[in-house]
A and B are shown apart, each in its own frame.
Chain A
């Protein structure tokens, strides 16, 4: 793609030229947001492993001992949450060696605790939002809750991503001829564009289906009419038909008896196994209005371990009698939705696929970063690099790419540095970790605005140092250095440490590649270095 040959006259643009303009400006407008989504989404592939690393008390031995709701969870709920209007339970599974209890406390709001299946006791409160509480929601909401603005920004960015893919395919001149071509020995602009094209094309199906399924998951937010029209605006009727939900108000009179919830789980699993011809397991149990005469129990199969399609079976039981109130399994269209959602959430157990998702996500990050870098490099030779527009894009790019990675490093380091029960200005320990993230991210934008091109290498150095500090602090505060964690079978922790060391290595290499001397290098290829073609 050679922009310098684009005519400056207002003659009608060819398709390729108009797509070049669209690709450039859509990219400039949303790339920093898209990079944040890709980066956090890529990390969310290993959300449970990040949880193990950041919440050391949950680094439990995997156990095959059956965990009973009536025997383990019920006494814990009755002791900790007798007044809650809902109890939420997840039994242990491969990547979560503990039971999870959640309830909405009338005073303190939503509470989450973990249950050690070996002892049947509750672990102390987590004191960190970690991967599933901070990194995963950041991916689709940026934690901007006001009027769902974060969801709308994410939806807009996902639409823009699809526009960028289509326009990028149209403007790429040598789609097949340069599919495998990477020329790092050529000048910086050429090799940046090579890398941008390659990381976009090799993972093209991934780059299309992930934004698309992401939009699909939140169809109720982005297209509220889609639900309002067929159900006459009745959200509850829609939930009942589309998600199999059931609801009835509490009677405010105590239940005469309580049926065995373990028996309900066993009944649900037997029904699903017979219906689908596989060994089905329930992974979510919700008790509504516990202790009330109108109480009911919802047993669900949200994330089957060996199936992509998610959340396609729900059975609701009467709490007092154990009778089935509603037995719902998804129809074909809803199952297609479940497959698209499931491929986006990847909570199924498939390690090769999990690593491939991680790699594809990183290739997406590289695609966006090299796209931004190409925009800067294409302009620093031609335009006045001191213009306000160029300087703004430069700061946004550096803070948006290396800045958010450094901020993630600061989040991990803060997690290992803050003592148990830490609190400052009314913020809990979990809140302080989040503050560390936001403050460091803000600082990287300011740093980039002041230091300009030199900020690339300096922020890469910061990433390398933060990643190594996180590994050392994990060893110092928990004793689980890589070897110790691996011998204990704590592969989530050992893997996190190894990934942090790899990140430090890559950041160190990038620091050398992005030195100002290289960035400012002459745009013409050096004939001595270019191979004969």
Chain B
């Protein structure tokens, strides 16, 4: 297993779940305190990053392992995103500013 590809798969899953969460009004408001912004691009970016994570899994493992690894990595990323949104929503602020520089 290539460590670099595996790290990319984890990071892409995390970023993908964070984007999908920010594309929702409730979480965007909690993170930035402003009106929703760029919902559609965020949703597309989220799914694209999750797909990129799957591609990294397939490249660093055999398909039979990637089929197990990817859904569980997405689970890990979704749990981490939910935990951040619950206790430290500010951690996602840089990502929100990346999408909407004026949102801060």
A205 to B72, CA, bound (A): 8
Report B72 CB to chain A, min CB distance, Å.
Answer: 4
| Chain B interface SS verdict (over half) | helix
Encode contact with B along A358-391: 1 for CB under 8 Å, 0 otherwise.
0110010000000000000000000000000000
A533 near B86 with CB under 8 A, answer: no
Is A216 at the interface (CB under 8 A from chain B)?
no
B75: Cβ under 8 A from any A Cβ? yes
Q: Shortest beta-carbon distance, B21 to chain A, in Å?
A: 5
Interface string of A434-476 (1 = CB under 8 A from B): 0000000000000000000000000000000000000000000
Is B69 an interface residue when CB atoms closer than 8 A count as contact? yes
Whether A350 lies near B26 (C-beta < 8 A) is no
**Stretch of B48-56, B76-84, B96-104 at the chain-chain interface:** B76-84
Tell me whether B65 and A206 are in contact (CB under 8 A): no
Judge whether B64 is part of the interface by a CB distance below 8 angstroms: yes
Most buried by B among A352, A357, A359: A352
A182 close to chain B: CB less than 8 A: yes
Residue contact B82 to A352, C-beta cutoff 8 Å: no
Cα separation A291 to B26 with both chains bound (whole Å) = 74
Contact between A357 and B72 (Cβ–Cβ < 8 Å)?
yes
Q: Are A181 and B72 in touch, CB under 8 angstroms? A: no
Partner of A205, one of B1, B71, B82: B71
- What is the bound-complex CA distance between A532 and B27, given in angstroms? 12
From B6, B17, B68, B75, contact of A308 by CB (8 A): B68
- A222 at the B interface (CB under 8 A): no
B82 and A182 contact, CB distance less than 8 A: yes
The answer to whether the Cβ of A235 comes within 8 Å of any Cβ in the partner chain is no
Q: Say yes or no for B85: interface residue by CB 8 A criterion.
A: yes
A309 at the interface (CB under 8 A from B): yes
Residues of B within 8 Å of A179, CB to CB, are 20-21, 78
User: Distance in Å from the Cβ of A233 to the closest Cβ of chain B?
Assistant: 34
Q: Mark B57-79, 1 if CB is under 8 A from A, else 0.
A: 00000101100110111111011
A180 touches B75 (CB 8 A): no
Q: CA of A353 to CA of B60 in the docked complex: distance in angstroms?
A: 13
Which residue of B27, B75, B81 contacts A360 across the interface (Cβ within 8 Å)? Answer: B75
B82 touches A308 (CB 8 A): no
Q: CB within 8 Å of B: which of A163-201?
A: 176-177, 179-184, 198, 201
Binary per-residue interface labels of chain B (9-25) against chain A in the complex, 1 for a CB within 8 Å, 0 otherwise = 00000000100110010
Q: How far is the CB of A144 from chain B (nearest CB, A)?
A: 30
B68 x A343 contact (CB < 8 A) = yes
Residues of chain A contacted by B73 (CB below 8 angstroms): 356
Cα–Cα, bound, A181→B21 (Å): 9
> Which residue of the partner chain, among B20, B27, B64, B85, contacts A307 with CB atoms under 8 Å?
B64
Contact A202/B86 with A339-B64, A343-B68, A360-B72 known, Cβ cut-off 8 Å:
no
Q: Are A353 and B68 in contact (CB under 8 A)?
A: yes
Interface residue ranges of A308-361 to B (CB < 8 Å): 308-309, 339, 343, 350, 352-353, 356-357, 359-360
When C-beta atoms are compared, the residue in chain B nearest to A335 turns out to be: B64
Find out whether the CB atom of A363 lies under 8 angstroms from the CB atom of B72: no
8 Å CB contact of A353 from B27, B72, B79: B72
Give A191's nearest chain B residue, CB to CB: B86
- Give the docked Cα–Cα distance between A68 and B73 (Å): 40
- Closest residue on chain A to residue B84 by CB atoms: A180
Q: Are B68 and A202 in contact (CB under 8 A)?
A: no
A203 part of interface (Cβ distance < 8 Å): yes
**Considering residues A202, A359, A360, which has the most beta carbons from chain B within 10 angstroms of its beta carbon?**
A202
Tell me the complex Cα distance, A198–B83, Å.
11
Q: Are A359's CB and B26's CB within 8 A?
A: no
Q: Hey, which chain A residues are within 8 Å of B72, CB to CB?
A: 203, 206, 353, 356-357, 359-360
Contacts of B79 in A (CB 8 A): 198, 202, 359, 363
Tell me the minimal C-beta distance from A415 to chain B in angstroms. Answer: 31
Given contacts A182-B82, A357-B72, contact A308 B26 (CB under 8 A): no
- Determine if A350 and B65 form an interchain contact, defined as CB atoms under 8 angstroms apart: yes
Cβ–Cβ contact A203 & B75, under 8 A: yes
In the assembled complex, which residues on chain A have CB atoms less than 8 Å from the CB atom of B24?
Answer: 176-177, 180
Q: How far is the CA of A184 from the CA of B86 in the complex (A)?
A: 8
Question: Least Cβ distance of B32 to chain A in Å?
Answer: 15
A198 B82 Cβ-Cβ under 8 A? yes
B26 A182 Cβ-Cβ under 8 A:
no
Q: Which residue of A lies closest to B69 (CB)?
A: A353
In this complex, the member of A177, A181, A343 whose beta carbon has the largest number of chain B beta carbons within 10 angstroms is A181
> A residues within 8 Å of B by Cβ?
176-177, 179-184, 198, 201-203, 205-206, 307-309, 339, 343, 350, 352-353, 356-357, 359-360, 363, 531, 533
Instruction: List 20 extra interface pairs beyond A180-B24, A206-B72, CB under 8 A.
Output: A177-B26, A179-B21, A180-B81, A182-B82, A182-B83, A198-B79, A201-B78, A202-B75, A202-B79, A203-B72, A203-B75, A206-B71, A206-B75, A307-B62, A307-B64, A353-B69, A353-B72, A359-B75, A360-B75, A363-B79
B residues in contact (CB < 8 Å) with A: 1, 6, 17, 20-21, 24, 26-27, 30, 62, 64-65, 68-69, 71-76, 78-79, 81-83, 85-86
Contacts A/B (CB < 8 Å), 12 sampled:
A180-B21, A180-B24, A180-B85, A181-B82, A202-B79, A205-B71, A206-B75, A308-B68, A343-B68, A353-B65, A360-B75, A363-B79
Q: Which 3 A-B pairs have the closest CB atoms?
A: A356-B72, A205-B71, A202-B78
